[in-house]
Amino acid sequence: MAAAAADVLVPRLEEKHEEPQEKKQKKTDEEKQDVPYLSDDDDCFPGELPDMTRAELGLYHRQVYESGGFDVGDFRHSFACGRIEPMGFEGVINDADKKELGEYSMEAIHKYNTDEKKNFKFKEVVKANVQCVSGLMYYITFKAEDASTATIETFQAKVWRGIGFVEVTSIRVKPISISKQGNEDLTICCSRSS
């Protein structure tokens, strides 16, 4: 299930491929010269992260597709430009970020209440992912309480903090994922009507 994948660090997924002989020879020659790093495009400089493998990219793109970016694993052991990443360290978001995400969540629930003629009140941030896109795109999962029924719903909002502005690009009640036979996810979006 995609939601569970976002809670743990995704282990490095290795690919098996054979390098051409001339590339192997070049590396051997460079290593003999005690070069501190290799200059091939697919190698890393010291302190840099390796690019995501094809297997990791495949898993990442499947998670983004299935969850809309809200439930994505932690691939911080590798690099990909523009990737959606979980906020916080080991799932814990610091207080300053939590406060900012709370403000964005309140803006999002206000938009939802206006559009849907509801009366939800923000309760707490559950988790958040972030993506660098001409500013930052936040994928925030939060809880809100319906003031008229006292029921608590989980919402997902995409909030774009651009250069000098903040915009709620989407808000929805979190879809419910139902596992079919353990290997397929069937996503159902629920909305309660009053």
Average pLDDT over residues 171-181: 75
Instruction: Mention every residue, 6+ apart, whose C-beta is less than 8 A from residue 46.
Output: 36, 37
The answer to which of 24-38, 81-95, 123-137, 175-189 has the lowest mean pLDDT is: 24-38
* Same domain, residue pair 180 and 159: yes
Instruction: Look at residues 25, 50, 83 and tell me which one is the last residue of a structural domain.
Output: 83
Task: Find the helix or strand (DSSP H, E) in which 129 lies.
Answer: strand 120-132
For residue range 69-118, list pLDDT tens digits in order.
999 988 887 877 888 999 987 778 889 999 999 999 999 999 999 999 99
> Residue 165 has which token pair?
């502005």
Report phi then psi at 144, rounded to 5: -145, 150
Alpha-helix runs per DSSP H in the chain? 2-5, 21-32, 54-67, 95-116
* Same domain, residue pair 7 and 76: yes
Q: How many domains does the chain have?
A: 2
Confidence at residue 14, expressed as pLDDT on a 0 to 100 scale: 60
**Which of the pair, 57 or 110, is modelled with greater confidence?**
110
> Residue 5 has which token pair?
């994948």
**Which of the pair, 142 or 2, is modelled with greater confidence?**
142
* Same domain, residue pair 112 and 68: no
* Same domain, residue pair 102 and 79: no
**Which structural domain range is residue 99 located in?**
95-188
How does the average pLDDT of the chain come out, rounded? Answer: 78
For residue range 35-44, list pLDDT tens digits in order.
343 334 455 5
